[in-house]
Structure formats: structure tokens, C-alpha cells
Amino acid sequence: MKTLSARYHQAHKEAKWAVGLAIAYFIWWYISAYAFSSTEITTTLPELYWGFPLWFLLACIIGPILFTVLCGLMVKFIYQDMSLEIEKDSDHE
């Protein structure tokens, strides 16, 4: 990345991906926590999956694991290592 505008373009791209992933995680958590929770008051226990209610398993166990993996993939494939040093143009010297 030689030019400053190319660095800004890459930084904006990375920021959009990060914000998008954060919003996707919030949506995942919200839907998992509220759509799969029992709204009815019953005298029976909710059905358990590996000892957890489905909403808790999706929102608090599977979601963080999934989005940690997605974050790692984002850093590996979207983010680029770039120097923060400002390079002087040879034309202006």
C-alpha cells in the first residue's frame, strides 16, 4: 500500500466488515435469545440440549464460538498488514 488513499480505502473496508460482523452478532444473539425462549409460563421444565435450554445454547455458547471463528477468518482474509509510515514521493524531493 503505497498511497495514502489506498490505505484509507482498505481501512474503511476493514471497518465496514468489523461493524457488519458486530451487527450480525447482535442480530444472532437477539433472535436466539428471544425467538427460542419460552414465553409461556409452564410448570414443566424446558427441553434441554446438552443440559441447556435451546435459547441459551444458541445465544451464549454456539454464537460466541461461531462469531469468534468468523472474526478470525475476517482478520485472515479481509484485513491487510500495512505500514503506518508515510513514504515520501520521489517526485517532490
- Residue 3 domain-assigned (yes or no): no
DSSP 11: H
Cell of 7: 490505505
Q: How confident is the model at residue 76 (pLDDT cuts 50, 70, 90)?
A: very high
Total of domains in the chain: 1
- Residue 85 domain-assigned (yes or no): no
- Residue 9 domain-assigned (yes or no): no
- Residue 60 domain-assigned (yes or no): yes
Q: Cα(73)–Cα(23) distance, rounded to whole angstroms?
A: 17
- Residue 63 domain-assigned (yes or no): yes
E strand or H helix at 53, and its extent?
Answer: strand 52-53
Whole domain around residue 29: which residue ranges?
Answer: 24-37+51-78
- Residue 33 domain-assigned (yes or no): yes
Q: Cα(73)–Cα(2) distance, rounded to whole angstroms?
A: 25
- Residue 73 domain-assigned (yes or no): yes
- Residue 67 domain-assigned (yes or no): yes
Sequence-distant (6+) residues with CB within 8 A of 12 are: none
Instruction: Output the pTM of the full model.
Output: 0.77
What are the tens digits of pLDDT across the range 28-50? 999 998 887 766 666 565 677 77
